């Protein structure tokens, strides 16, 4: 169970999201273990610990936990991030026994309080703690959906920055259009987090998207749209030349692969796995070419 210190005060969207993801993962992992679906259990734990906790929650929590004051908010933020880590180590322990034991003992405050009642008098060890079962009261579908929308927006901006060659040091302007009022509220309330992780200095959220012609665009879930104005960020001619060269290279590769697949003799004699790999690569190239076409259009 999550301690009262972890839950005290008004929780932010990232806090409600990570607690929901933790408890949903614990519930689902227990269900997988009961059915001997060990591979599924490990996959769920991997994605929670690496993607949700490490990739996103730690980044989203940095400002709160590194604040220099000794406010109750800072104390609660540190308690939350450590509590989630402690419970994640318990869940991971059956699959990573030695590393989790070492890490668990390095956490502040661990000991008899985390022990399973049956081992309350034993020497503290992560292997004797109560295995998290997942608290249904802390599973929050709304928080997960809202946070996923924020994560998607940030990820799309990062993709645009990479595709358009925008330097990490350059701050961008984000224009977001969302017809759904709830989605606009989520983006507006998360502006600070979005600005920090997407390296943006200005974010405008409106019902309809109005952006300059020279903007990189992306479609978001829920019918929302994103645009990043490119004026002043890149040299349009240089970037267009680079993207055109990349497009031509991919088109040449696609032509060669299509030639292989059009050869009936090759398809009949080649291992099925190789044919599948070629088809998957062609589909991947198609997606990349669509992205390049959109990027080149934004430079017109």
pLDDT tens digits for range 128-170:
888 999 999 999 999 999 999 999 999 999 999 998 889 999 9
For the question of whether the overall pTM of this predicted structure is more than 0.85, the answer is: no
Band of residue 1 on the pLDDT scale cut at 50, 70, 90: very low
Whether the CA torsion 190, 192, 197, 201 is positive or negative: it is positive
Q: What pLDDT score does 211 carry?
A: 87
- Mean of per-residue pLDDT scores for the chain: 90
Taking the C-alpha atoms of residue 159 and residue 36, their distance in angstroms, rounded to an integer, is 38
pLDDT tens digits for range 63-92:
888 877 777 778 888 889 999 999 999 999
Q: How far, in whole angstroms, is CA 22 from its chain's centroid? A: 15
Residue 193 has pLDDT above 80, yes or no: yes
């Amino acid at each position: 169970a999550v301690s009262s210190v972890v839950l005290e005060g008004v929780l932010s969207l990232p806090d409600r999201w990570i607690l929901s993801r933790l408890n949903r993962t614990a519930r689902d992992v227990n269900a997988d273990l009961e059915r001997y679906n060990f591979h599924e259990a490990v996959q769920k734990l991997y994605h929670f610990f690496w993607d949700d906790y490490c990739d996103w929650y730690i980044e989203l929590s940095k400002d709160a936990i590194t604040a220099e004051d000794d406010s109750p908010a800072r104390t609660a933020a540190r308690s939350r991030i450590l509590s989630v880590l402690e419970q994640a180590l318990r869940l991971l322990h059956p699959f990573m026994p030695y590393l989790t034991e070492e890490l668990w003992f390095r956490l502040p405050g661990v000991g008899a309080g985390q022990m399973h009642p049956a081992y309350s008098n034993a020497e503290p060890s992560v292997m004797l703690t109560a295995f998290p079962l997942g608290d249904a009261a802390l599973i929050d579908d709304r928080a997960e959906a809202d946070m996923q929308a924020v994560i998607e927006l940030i990820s799309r901006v990062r993709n645009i920055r990479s595709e358009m060659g925008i330097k990490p040091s350059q701050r961008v302007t984000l224009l977001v259009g969302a017809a759904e009022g709830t989605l606009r509220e989520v983006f507006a309330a998360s502006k600070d987090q979005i600005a920090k992780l997407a390296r943006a200095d200005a974010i405008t959220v409106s019902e309809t998207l109005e952006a300059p012609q020279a903007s990189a665009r992306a479609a978001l879930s829920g019918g929302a749209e994103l645009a990043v104005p490119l004026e002043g960020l890149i040299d349009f001619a240089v970037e267009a030349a680079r993207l055109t060269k990349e497009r031509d290279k991919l088109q040449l590769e696609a032509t060669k692969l299509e030639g292989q697949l059009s050869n009936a003799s090759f398809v009949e004699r080649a291992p099925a796995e190789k044919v599948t790999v070629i088809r998957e690569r062609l589909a991947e190239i198609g997606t990349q070419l669509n992205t390049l076409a959109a990027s080149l259009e934004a430079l017109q």
